[in-house]
Amino acid sequence: LSVAELFLLQVIFDHEGIFLHPTPDEGSPDQDLLVSGSLRIIEKDSSSVVEWAQCPGEKSQTRQLLETQQSYETEWDMVNAVSFKKKNYTNGESDHERSRWAFSVNISDLKSITVKEEGWTFLILQLKDSSSSVPALHFHQGGSREFLDSLRRFALLTESPEDETRLLVSTPNKALSQSFENLLDDNNFGLIHKFKRDPYVATLGGFSKVTNYIYDALRGTEEQQQRPPEEVADLLGEVIPGLEINQQEEPGFEVITRIDLGTRPQVSRVEPVSADYWSKHQDPEGRIENEAALRQRIFKGGLCHAVRREAWKFLLGYYPWTSTLEERKSLQKTKTDEYFRMKLQWKSISEEQERRNSRLRDYKSLIEKDVNRTDRTNRFYEGLNNPGLTLLHDILMTYCMYDFDLGYVQGMSDLLSPILFVMENEVDAFWCFVSFMDQMHQNFEEQMQGMKTQLIQLSTLLRLLDLAFWNYLESQESGYLYFCFRWLLIRFKRELIFSDVLRLWEVMWTELPCQNFHLLVCCAILDSEKQKIMEENYGFNEILKHINELSMKLNIEEILQKAEGIYLQIRSCKVGVRFSPPRCEPGHHGNVTPTQLHLFTEAVSTNYQFCTEMRDTSY
């Protein structure tokens, strides 16, 4: 390789001691021969390659075998990163000479990888070209998991429905792969790379699942059935004041639509709820009085820190709003007993039992890794042997006993950390975390249906609010808002400073003014950044990089003001719907194209969804 080529070449994975077991059919007279070599994943220019080459120390053994063969043999050699060719084999001892078993395969040419166990792990790589094959790779000294993890940087590995030992390989759009690299892969939060752990592939599909669901979302949006415009008009007429709708319908007539969002109202915030204000909303027996007004006040200003420990238990549903002080003490005693019974289940497992429970081992391993890198700059978790870290670990392990099907998935420690910080109590933190996970559960399930739905809703909502900006993102292959993935997955935990995370979460837990207020928070952030993105003519990667660099630079009070203003704007918007005879030209519908009509129907459906989710309060 030239010096220039070496600079362009990046070694992603490099592991020695990967063996081939040549058979007589592969040109070896010794059935028991083991050939040791080095396995690498290399990224060069726009291609990514898996290659195996024999270790230099093995040459003499192999040379003896080669000299008994004909003067030429099949050697796997990449041609244009796609096909293979035969090369003449020479008897020279050149340093550049390759072993007859060496191969180099472009990752895009892989069809599947079968994972087998025979006291060690070996992988069988199947190529899309059925006329070609490569030797099985035997990992006698480990490294198979690291190899597959590295491979997932460039390809989606999904379990075959017919064979659980077989991973199907598909290579996504390169820009999409880069998007997740740029967005999520940092030293403290390698969420996508480390999402999957092989031993419980049935529990979480990892990066392949994360990316697959986005691909499903792209297809699914086009296939979704929309409400007929007349049905939408009928529904909206009941929930949006001032909506101008003419539902006269005649056969052969087409719909013409007009969306008028109006001016976005200015919104002000108030001071956080103080301890005095909170206590004034309790009767002598400790019941919360006027829950609706208290929720509204928390939504508008949040809570002072002294109130959070008690108020969060109500907001998260651990304490019923109508409970008395005595009832809450009794509930806490019951929940304490229940918690420690579950904790004892994993604490009492012997080492021998643990060796036979691979899922629990892997949950434990993931938790230990994540705990050691979660919010370590926060005073509650900083330093070695911090008791806060022990509590974080124990609560997450106990949650595995509470919900063993889900167990532990990376990102969950981020959701627990602020709760434990506020509660400063193991049992209370656990049950509040359980309530929060009830809301967030779908984000972490194998199919990740919750994430898919939220991204589709957010994209539709943005089209309603700012079609010009949405069209720009669409032109840059960003219309499905991949860059918002981390925002939604862990509710902005990695985007805001710690104190702002506490404020945002307590506001969202009021469920005001609608249950999916976090989508409006996303819109508010994008609204603030759209001018720069469009004026600088950012492309796909620039958009991802820019959004990622917003982390820790956002002002939560400004975002909440804008998000509430957007909600009020949507609630008061007017949608004109009328019917008009079609023009003679095929496919022409008044002043709107069929595509515009489809977008309108989606937008109005989203508007209706937000309005119907409003709480019956004085808001």
Task: For residue range 93-112, list pLDDT tens digits in order.
Answer: 344 444 577 889 999 889 99
Q: E strands along 9-165, which residues? A: 9-20, 35-44, 47-54, 72-73, 78-79, 83-84, 87-88, 103-106, 110-117, 121-127, 137-139, 156-159
Q: Which helix (H) or strand (E) holds 291?
A: helix 291-301
pLDDT at position 45, please?
64
The answer to which of 43-57, 95-109, 466-480 has the lowest mean pLDDT is: 95-109
pLDDT higher than threshold 80 for residue 285: yes
Looking up tokens 């999904």, which residue turns up? Answer: 158
Structure token digits, residue 433? 């975390």
pLDDT at position 574, please?
59
pLDDT at position 605, please?
45
**Higher-confidence position of 63 and 480:** 480
- Most confident residue range from 169-173, 245-249, 252-256, 339-343: 339-343
pLDDT at position 24, please?
57
Q: Where in the chain is the domain with CATH 1.10.8.270?
A: 304-442
Going by pLDDT thresholds of 50, 70 and 90, the confidence category of residue 434 is very high
Q: Does domain 449-572 have CATH number 1.10.472.80?
A: yes
CB 41 within 8 A of CB 147: yes
Q: Where in the chain is the domain with CATH 2.30.29.230?
A: 1-56+99-171
- Most confident residue range from 74-78, 223-227, 498-502: 498-502
CB 460 within 8 A of CB 435: no
Helices 229-239 and 594-612 meet at what angle, rounded to 10? 30
pLDDT higher than threshold 60 for residue 575: no
pLDDT at position 170, please?
79
Mean pLDDT across 406-422: 96
**Higher-confidence position of 593 and 380:** 380
**Higher-confidence position of 504 and 189:** 504
Percent residues over pLDDT 90 in the chain: 50
**Higher-confidence position of 609 and 51:** 51
Mean pLDDT across 487-493: 96
For the domain with range 1-56+99-171, which CATH number is right: 1.10.10.60, 2.60.120.1130, 2.30.29.230, 3.40.50.2020?
Answer: 2.30.29.230
pLDDT at position 612, please?
45
Going by pLDDT thresholds of 50, 70 and 90, the confidence category of residue 350 is very high
pLDDT higher than threshold 70 for residue 617: no
From residue 181, give the alpha-carbon distance in Å to each of 184, 447, 488, 494.
6, 21, 17, 16
* CATH, range 304-442: 1.10.8.270
pLDDT at position 576, please?
52
pLDDT at position 310, please?
98
Mean pLDDT across 394-421: 96
**Higher-confidence position of 472 and 27:** 472
Mean pLDDT, the chain, rounded, equals 76
Question: How many Å separate Cα 267 from the centre of its chain?
Answer: 32
pLDDT at position 378, please?
94
Question: Whose CA is closest to 591, among 107, 260, 257?
Answer: 257
Q: What is the spatial distance between Cα 5 and Cα 337, in angstroms, rounded to a whole number?
A: 64
**Higher-confidence position of 123 and 616:** 123
The answer to which of 29-33, 87-91, 153-157 has the lowest mean pLDDT is: 87-91
Q: What is the spatial distance between Cα 558 and Cα 524, in angstroms, rounded to a whole number?
A: 9
Residues whose CB falls within 8 Å of the CB of residue 575, separated by 6 or more in sequence, listed in order: 233, 236, 240, 243, 244, 245, 257, 258, 259, 260, 604, 607
CB 382 within 8 A of CB 442: no
The answer to which of 100-109, 282-291, 377-386 has the lowest mean pLDDT is: 100-109
Question: Whose CA is closest to 190, among 15, 440, 411, 399?
Answer: 411
